Amino acid sequence: MIAIIDYDAGNIKSVEKAIEFLGHECIVTRDREELLKADKVILPGVGAFGDAMEKLENYGLVDVIHEVVNKGTPFLGICLGLQLIFDESEEAPGVKGLGLLRGKIVKFPEGELKVPQIGWNSLHLINDGKLFKNIKEGSYVYFVHSYYLKAEDESVVKATSEYMTTFHASVESGNVFACQFHPEKSSDVGLAILKNFVEMD
């Protein structure tokens, strides 16, 4: 059973549909017991860092997420869900993230390109990520974001992408996985990435 954390995030329905399309049962829940007994847990996300952390706090989900991760359940953050698993974001100074991995979220520099980045961009695959099994170098995925990750430990970075700067597009550390792009909106490549996650041992 795949559990999708329900904290009013915008892309929950599309993630749920993608998992069901892959032939897996999933539930959308914020119930502690359901989350702790799930085989895999997904933290989706669209929106602002500060608002999302406030929702997670209000629903009592911060401690539950730490419990899920500490018991070794494979855990996937998507888009804002990637940003939330790190320490902090320039979008919400003073707001603590989940701190599952070390690093910070920073705003794209002002430049000739529009912010947010909205659209398809290619991935450079590094460090042999499990999410990218059988995914080709240079595959295109769909992004929507104004802020990007700078991970403290570059060995956890499994994919980078370029938009005015090189940024960390996907990370993996133990049972914690995350991607800045939306696999659920990234056509066949995205579905293959999600399949790698949900069918992982």
pLDDT band at 147 (very low <50, low <70, confident <90, very high): very high
105: Cα separation from own chain's centroid: 13
Does residue 199 sit in helix, strand or coil?
coil
Q: In angstroms, rounded to a whole number, what is the distance separating the alpha carbons of residues 158 and 175?
A: 14
pLDDT in tens, 23-71: 999 999 999 999 999 999 999 998 899 999 999 999 999 999 999 999 9
Amino acid found at 175:
N
What structural domains and CATH numbers belong to the chain? 2-198 (3.40.50.880)
pTM of the model: 0.97
Helix residue spans in the chain (DSSP H): 12-21, 32-37, 49-58, 61-70, 80-84, 187-198
Contact predicate 43/77, CB 8 Å:
yes
Report the catalytic residues: 79, 182, 184
Show the tokens assigned to 81.
């869900």
Residue 74 is classified by DSSP as -
Q: Would you call 23 exposed, middle or buried from its count of C-beta atoms within 10 A (0-12, 13-18, 19+)?
A: exposed
